[in-house]
Amino acid sequence: MRRMIANGSLVLTAVAVVALCSLSWAQMTEAEENQRLGMESHIGKLTGHAAAAKGTYRRYCVGCHGVLGDGEGENAQWIDPKPRNFTLGIFKCRSTTTGTLPLDSDLFNTIGRGLDSSNMPSWNPLSAQERADLVAYVKHFSARWVTEKPGTPIEVPKKPEVTADRLKAGLAVYQKVECWKCHGQTGTGNGPSAATLTDDQNRPIQPYNFHDGKRFKCGTSDEDLYTIFMTGLDGTPMPSWSDNIKPDEAWDLVFYLRSLQPMKSKEREIARQIGLKSGAPSTAPAPAPPQ
């Protein structure tokens, strides 16, 4: 009996130590973050101030992203995909090269636009100044913003005219870089690798389904989709293709993916007219040569 009590006491002591360590770590992290409350953002003529957004963040954002900005808010357990962990300083939607910090304007646009296929809504009802302040507050969670500068924005060349040849070329690019392995033969997000994909925190993540609507994860325009190809979505399995495909090929891929979406578009109409068949390369064996 005494041994059972002793063992129980040891377990309780261990739990108490772990809880105390966790509390100390959280307090230390919060103290470090508080030192960065002087962080600013700059979007056009607007200057955002982290300290000014503390109340706004606690009202609208803390339930998902957490007090410490680590994506562990009380609602996080019910949300899929999970809220972003701001302490890592890694963001999906950027105009900058892969692995680099986004521009303040990138974060500003994300807050206003929201993230499609997620629980992150559009916060356009907030004033521009409130959004600028929130950008600064998001930045204050990560020490990366103290030691690093945002990356260089990629150049988006002028969009060419969509043609049947470009749609065919886009399908060829889709096959060549094996987009279908994740996004599926018809772009529905059910490729053979889809079930194995995880994010940067080893959590399951689903490829984008291009048949769901006209919006993408990081925007609505053709230029937004081009940017996604060339910057990648950091923190996800979606890489940057800037070293693998040329700008013209990226535009061809934009047009092809537009033809998969359900809304009326020039790309979809051309694809229908030419009978363009989507999908992965044929795996059927080649016919035997004539004898």
Residue 152, pLDDT > 80, answer yes
pLDDT (tens digit, 9 = 90+) per residue, 205-240?
A: 999 999 887 778 898 899 999 999 999 999 999 999
| Structural tokens at position 214 | 């006209």
- What is the distance between the alpha carbons of residues 257 and 164, in angstroms, rounded to a whole number? 13
Give me the pLDDT at residue 141, please: 96
Give me the pLDDT at residue 5, please: 47
Confidence band, pLDDT 50/70/90 cuts, at residue 15: very low
Residue in 126, 122, 103, 104 with CA at minimum distance from that of residue 113: 122
- What is the distance between the alpha carbons of residues 209 and 156, in angstroms, rounded to a whole number? 24
Phi-psi region of 92 (alpha: psi -120 to 50; beta: other; left: phi over 0): alpha
pLDDT (tens digit, 9 = 90+) per residue, 131-147?
A: 999 999 999 999 999 99
pTM reported for the whole predicted model: 0.84
| Count of CA atoms in the C-beta half-sphere (13 A) of 90 | 16
pLDDT (tens digit, 9 = 90+) per residue, 249-261?
A: 999 999 999 999 9
Contact 97, 151 (CB under 8 A): yes
Give me the pLDDT at residue 124, please: 87
DSSP track, 146-189:
HH--B-PBPP-PPP----HHHHHHHHHHHHHTTTHHHH-TTSSS
pLDDT (tens digit, 9 = 90+) per residue, 27-79?
A: 557 777 788 899 999 999 999 999 999 999 999 999 999 999 999 999 999 99
